[in-house]
Structure 1
Amino acid sequence: MQKLSRFFQFLFGTVLGALPRDLLRELILPSGHPKLLRRRRADMIISRVRMVAALFAVLTPLWIVIDIAVFAWPVTVLLVVGRIATTIAFAMLALSYRKSVRINDAYRALAVMFGIPTVFFIYSHPMLSHFDMTGPAAAISAGYAFLPFVMVAGLAVFPLTAVESVLFALPVLGAEGLVALMRLDILSWSSHLGAFWLLFLIATVAALAGMSQLSFMMSLVRQATHDGLTGCFSRNSGEEMLDIQFHIAARSGAPLSVVFLDLDNFKQVNDRFGHDAGDRVLQGAAESLRANLRSGDMLLRWGGEEFVIVLPDANGATAATAVARLQSVGLGLRPDGGRVTASIGVAERIADGAGDWQQLVEIADERMYRAKMAGKDRCVGCAGDGGAAQ
């Protein structure tokens, strides 16, 4: 099993470029995607769904002119009815679907977008096959058989994982199989299998194209949301995550703690040993902090030597335990061999009555300043100090 896993990692790494090995899993399954990536991806998918739906809402009725010109009654009437219904469905999708950053909304939009032409294909293609046609009518009728190929090729427009591409391609492949069963009296199994095999190949290429888009998007999101020196979330992305976490906590009534941490005497490191040494101190502190946080906690570089730690579902006691653990492990060493210490302020949403994330951070920042004024290398606001500082 491990050999098979390594083979797929090598395969996707070769096809999709030099992506870190730990991120290859995110190209296959969406479950490990960070919240910010899910929000960006959902927004892009829904925007593209609306764009494609609007395009087909315009192109679909234009084809009615060709249907009227080449087909005879009653085929023309049946096709016109189907195209009008399809046009209305595409127009409703383009105009009524709201912008959203929720990935489940994006999934629903994609399902509707692929469902509309799938239903039209199941409706129109078998119907046309039961009429004897010659000349231009026969050629246009045969063209309806290519609709599934256009649909699966459309997967390449969206940044999807491998599993998502498979799930959205399956209904199209199923529709092709259903139509094949309905037309066995007209075409042989070999003809249907050839079409099905070609459809599968196009779906595979489209899925790889979608994964390539996702890989590029993951790299861009990571570059835009992470600090290049320390690897922590940047302040801009951190503010967005704080806003998300605060609203989640407020809706569910859950606690949310923020730890504001400022390295002590950091300016002396830069002045005595240079900025390269200061950068190494920052990197070491960030690595130590990351290594001793829970998997759901978030570490932000707020600016300079300041860090903010977001602790979802953590009350004052939990935050105090986390801070004590960080203090016991330490934040690395200075260039002269001394310990890197920090002044720390802690605030909790419920205990401190914060109305928004900005106020929560301000409370933690003010307590950090009090810790600095009280002699540094200490924490203000921990449960060990009698609960939230006043």
Structure 2
Amino acid sequence: MLTDALKRLWLRAWSLVLMEMTSQEIGWLLRPRDHMSLLTSRRTTIIVTRVRLMAGLFALFTPLWIVADVFAFQPEVWHGLAAARLGATIAFVLILVAARRMDTIQNAYRALAMLFAIPMLFFLFTYQHMAHFEMHGFEAAFSTGYAFLPFVVVAGLSIFPLTLAECLAFAGPILAFQSLAAVMRWPVLDWPTVAASLWLLILITAVSALAGLSQLAFMIVLVRENIRDSMTGCFSRPSGEELIDLQFTLARRSGMALSLAFLDLDHFKEINDRYGHDAGDEVLIKTSTTIRNRMRMGDMLVRWGGEEFLLVMPNTDRLQALTALERLTEQGLGLRPNGTPVTASIGLAEISTDDSLNWKELVEIADKRMYRAKTSGRNRIVADDMPLNL
């Protein structure tokens, strides 16, 4: 009865989550491609933090278990186990130290792979090591505990927000290790036991994958709700600042271009004064939708405040940005309540051309050029202090 109730609750929770997700976001559950940078950044932080947590716990408890081995096994058995435990402890400490400097998803993958590889290598060693000794009674019973290590490792996948593809990629080698351990005892292989173990390992893998997917699904929904402006659907200013900071850091590190365009809608106050704030809100919604529909794949639109927007254009130099902005604005940015086109004063800044030291300085340069565009007659772009009539 309780199991059925929990199952219904679980399915209800998943149905609610999936209903709140777009088709693109559901695709993000399946594979890590095309994730928004803020989601990738959040996932990287969580994965690395939990890798360090698990590595720290393993580094603490792995050598402590030597005491139990000493009481359970004869010296020729526990000597080898103790050496393997000390080696694994050193490896866990190295992960703990190295993970402090990991800030990309690729590094998070490496840290997670190393975290799982260490106990599985330890498992293979102990599995083969103890096969050389005759064990009976309590010693034999205690030794069976080592056979459960792959199950513990694959269950550990459940604490990481991974896509389905990532779960399968990390679980596959664990299943391979379990199969390899069985092959190592081929002459005395007990097929029913091996088949049952693999089946149980697959079931735990499925549950762990589902747990990881549920974490990722809730993270996607929460990130989207927290980073989007509720009215226009653009990135909000707090999330936009974090996004620009991330893009600025990546551009500086890789030497790639990065352009920011500061857009201020022309004569917007007149719309509010003449037609009311509801009409002004409608113009903001339609204008932001127009910009998002016309901007290039990979560009990001931030509502900076009121009628001001910031267009973030990664891997785009000044000339490319000017071309993109001309195409974006050539037909206007929508219609005002009186049927005339919505226009904008635009200031453009580029990371290498303007030699900015930080993202705030780059935004400030774009802001100042936007102000020059307004004072120079509006409906124009100012880049490198040269106004360009539209």
Change (3 A) 1:96 1:245: closer
State yes or no: 1:207 paired with 2:226.
Answer: no
List runs of 5+ in structure 1 lacking aligned partners. Answer: 1-11
Q: Secondary structure at the match of 2:229?
A: coil
Change (3 A) 1:17 1:319: closer
Query: Residues 237 and 304 of structure 2 are in contact (CA less than 8 Å); yes or no, is this contact kept in structure 1?
Result: yes
Q: Who is 1:124 aligned against?
A: 126
Q: Secondary structure at the match of 2:304?
A: strand
Q: Who is 2:88 aligned against?
A: 86
Q: Who is 1:143 aligned against?
A: 145
Q: Name the amino acid aligned to 2:276.
A: G
Q: 1:52-93: per-residue Cα shift (whole Å, max 9, x none)?
A: 111122222222222111211311212222222222222332
Deviation (angstroms), 1:227? 1.5
Q: How does 1:181-196 map to 2 (within 5 A)?
A: 181-196=183-198
Deviation (angstroms), 1:195? 0.5
Alpha-carbon separation, structure 1, partners of 2:216 and 2:101: 20
Q: Secondary structure at the match of 2:360?
A: helix
Change (3 A) 1:210 1:101: same
Deviation (angstroms), 1:321? 2.1
Deviation (angstroms), 1:102? 0.7
Query: Residues 318 and 350 of structure 2 are in contact (CA less than 8 Å); yes or no, is this contact kept in structure 1?
Result: yes
Q: 1:307-342: per-residue Cα shift (whole Å, max 9, x none)?
A: 011223333332222222222232222233332222
Q: Who is 2:79 aligned against?
A: 77
Is the deviation greater in 188-197 or in 337-346? 337-346
Deviation (angstroms), 1:164? 1.1
Q: Secondary structure at the match of 2:337?
A: coil
Change (3 A) 1:351 1:114: closer
Alpha-carbon separation, structure 2, partners of 1:47 and 1:343: 43
Q: Secondary structure at the match of 2:206?
A: helix
Q: Who is 2:242 aligned against?
A: 240
Change (3 A) 1:170 1:369: same
Moved over 6 A (4+): none
Deviation (angstroms), 1:276? 2.7
Deviation (angstroms), 1:265? 2.2
Q: Who is 2:37 aligned against?
A: 35
Q: Secondary structure at the match of 1:101?
A: coil
Change (3 A) 1:71 1:317: closer
Q: Who is 1:6 aligned against?
A: none
Q: Who is 1:281 aligned against?
A: 283
Alpha-carbon separation, structure 1, partners of 2:296 and 2:385: 19
Q: Name the amino acid aligned to 1:176.
A: Q
Alpha-carbon separation, structure 2, partners of 1:52 and 1:314: 40
Identity rate of aligned residues, in percent?
A: 49
Query: Residues 43 and 99 of structure 1 are in contact (CA less than 8 Å); yes or no, is this contact kept in structure 2?
Result: no
Alpha-carbon separation, structure 2, partners of 1:303 and 1:330: 21
Q: Who is 1:375 aligned against?
A: 377
Alpha-carbon separation, structure 2, partners of 1:54 and 1:117: 13
Alpha-carbon separation, structure 1, partners of 2:317 and 2:252: 14
Is the deviation greater in 275-284 or in 352-361? 352-361
Deviation (angstroms), 1:106? 0.7
Alpha-carbon separation, structure 1, partners of 2:220 and 2:149: 31
Task: Work out the number of aligned pairs and report it.
Answer: 376
Q: CA RMSD in A?
A: 2.4
Q: Name the amino acid aligned to 1:30.
A: P
Deviation (angstroms), 1:113? 0.6
Q: Who is 1:52 aligned against?
A: 54
Query: Residues 81 and 126 of structure 2 are in contact (CA less than 8 Å); yes or no, is this contact kept in structure 1?
Result: yes
Q: Who is 2:175 aligned against?
A: 173
Alpha-carbon separation, structure 2, partners of 1:152 and 1:306: 49
Q: 1:101-156: per-residue Cα shift (whole Å, max 9, x none)?
A: 21111111111110110011001123223432222111111111111000000000
Change (3 A) 1:284 1:219: same
Q: How does 1:213-252 map to 2 (within 5 A)?
A: 213-252=215-254
Q: 1:293-315: per-residue Cα shift (whole Å, max 9, x none)?
A: 11021211111110011223333
Is the deviation greater in 151-160 or in 133-142? 133-142
Alpha-carbon separation, structure 2, partners of 1:343 and 1:61: 65
Q: Secondary structure at the match of 1:354?
A: coil
TM-score, reference length from structure 1: 0.89
Query: Residues 16 and 211 of structure 1 are in contact (CA less than 8 Å); yes or no, is this contact kept in structure 2?
Result: no
Query: Residues 344 and 368 of structure 1 are in contact (CA less than 8 Å); yes or no, is this contact kept in structure 2?
Result: yes
Q: Name the amino acid aligned to 1:17.
A: L
List runs of 5+ in structure 2 lacking aligned partners. Answer: 1-12
